[in-house]
Amino acid sequence: MDSTCKVSVIVPAYEHFDRGVEFLDDLFRTISTQTLKEVEVVVSDHSTEDNVEKFCALNEYNLNIKYVRNKEKRGNPCANTNVAINHAIGDVVKVFFQDDFLYDTTALEKIYHELMSSESMWLVNGCIHTKDDGHSFFHPINPRWDSNMILSPGCNFIGAPSVVSFKKESKIRFDENVAMLMDVDFYYNMFLNYGHPIYLNDTLIGNRIREDTWQETITQEEVDKEFEYVHIKYGIEK
């Protein structure tokens, strides 16, 4: 897509425990029904197999898909997300984890309008959760800021990375030295550089709650080390 691209939906992808194509299909379907049409979908694929690549090539929903085979730093979600961001050309970059999806058909239009009519560099929106089926929903969340998110677990009241969007001029990327804290580190870094985001309380994103995720493989010791790392990074003393 040329310079008329308004939103780049960036998707760091992988096999997702053999459900990668299933989740992408759900995400792509919800992108295809959006009222905003000037959209590209950038998929950075960490898979060792070609199922995701074949699915993107099939392009059943007639989307503008930019597929990137990414063999570097496999298993590092931040690195894979950054590759997708770096290939995006839209005025607004919309982050999307592969197993999440758009809940509102006007979501991308709302995000684009709110960001491009504001001086703010980034935006976070409301979300709702589903237990993997995408039909029954619960626990809607409106994002709010808590500076303690960078201090200890349990203080992230913004949500997972799928709720964040930002203007393409942003220079901030996800820190490849963290995994479990990729969201709060990114939010905190954006806040330090650009101030508060737009808090869009509309429920725009569906977040899947699952047990078979890479987050479940991270130990408490690893989480503690990540907190220690970000405290040193930002000069924070607890």
The confidence score (pLDDT) of residue 171 equals: 97
Mean pLDDT calculated for residue range 5-16: 95
Amino acid at 168: K
Amino acid at 48: T
The confidence score (pLDDT) of residue 204 equals: 98
Burial class (CB in 10 A: 0-12, 13-18, 19+), 134: middle
How are the residues of the chain apportioned to helix, strand and coil, as percentages rounded to the nearest 5? 35, 25, 45
The confidence score (pLDDT) of residue 133 equals: 74
* Positive or negative: CA dihedral 14, 16, 18, 23: negative
pLDDT in tens, 58-94: 999 999 999 999 999 999 999 999 999 999 999 999 9
Three-class SS state of 14 = coil
Q: Which secondary-structure segment (H or E) carries 159?
A: none
Distance CA 59, CA 56 (A): 5
The confidence score (pLDDT) of residue 237 equals: 85
pLDDT in tens, 95-141: 999 999 999 999 999 999 999 999 999 999 999 999 877 789 999 99
Greater pLDDT, 1 or 168:
168
| Number of residues assigned to the chain | 238
pLDDT for 1 beyond 50: no
**Which residues, in sequence order, are bridge partners of residue 203?**
126
The confidence score (pLDDT) of residue 216 equals: 58
pLDDT for 212 beyond 70: no
What is the Cα 48 distance to its own chain's centre? 21
pLDDT in tens, 152-211: 889 999 999 999 999 999 999 999 999 999 999 999 999 999 999 999 999 999 999 866
